[in-house]
Amino acid sequence: MELTVGAIVEGKVKSITNFGAFISLPDNKTGMVHISEVANAYVSDIRQYLTEGQEVKVVVIAMEGTKINLSMKRLEAKPQQENHHGAGQSRGRSPGASGGRPARNSAAPVQPAAPKTADQLFEERLKQFMNESDSKISSIRQYSDHRTKSRRR
């Protein structure tokens, strides 16, 4: 079985660490579920959610060389109290429709692009941070160059 990003597979918990769990996958491959990808709720002790030898269903969220990153929480329905700045409420609904949030949650598991949305948001934030950082460094260098030139006179 060829593993690809977005593939949903079943595996067995091989070992548990403080930062995640290693999962035995088909074809003698091993992936890891980071503690932040175990459940939609905050997980302080992963052993409250998983035990060694437990059969689990996971989704492949990234593959980097031989590393296979897995998620369990992305297969769960998102809690209703989550609201990402109103995103998705106007899809197919008039703004302000009272039934917007539950309908969005029921449609979330059907959309395979959900993992990419989080990655895209991260990438956008990273780009924004890098641009701001470059701008600040540039202005500091200009100020530093100006002060250095004025001292040489």
> For the chain, which residues make up each domain, given as ranges?
1-77, 113-153
- CATH code of 1-77, in short, is 2.40.50.140
Tokens representing 127 are: 């780009």
pLDDT tens for each residue of 117-136? 666 777 778 888 888 888 77
| Stated pTM of the model | 0.51
Residue 31 CB partners (closer than 8 Å, separation 6+):
11, 22, 23, 25, 58, 60, 67, 68, 69, 70
pLDDT tens for each residue of 38-64? 998 898 999 999 999 999 999 999 998
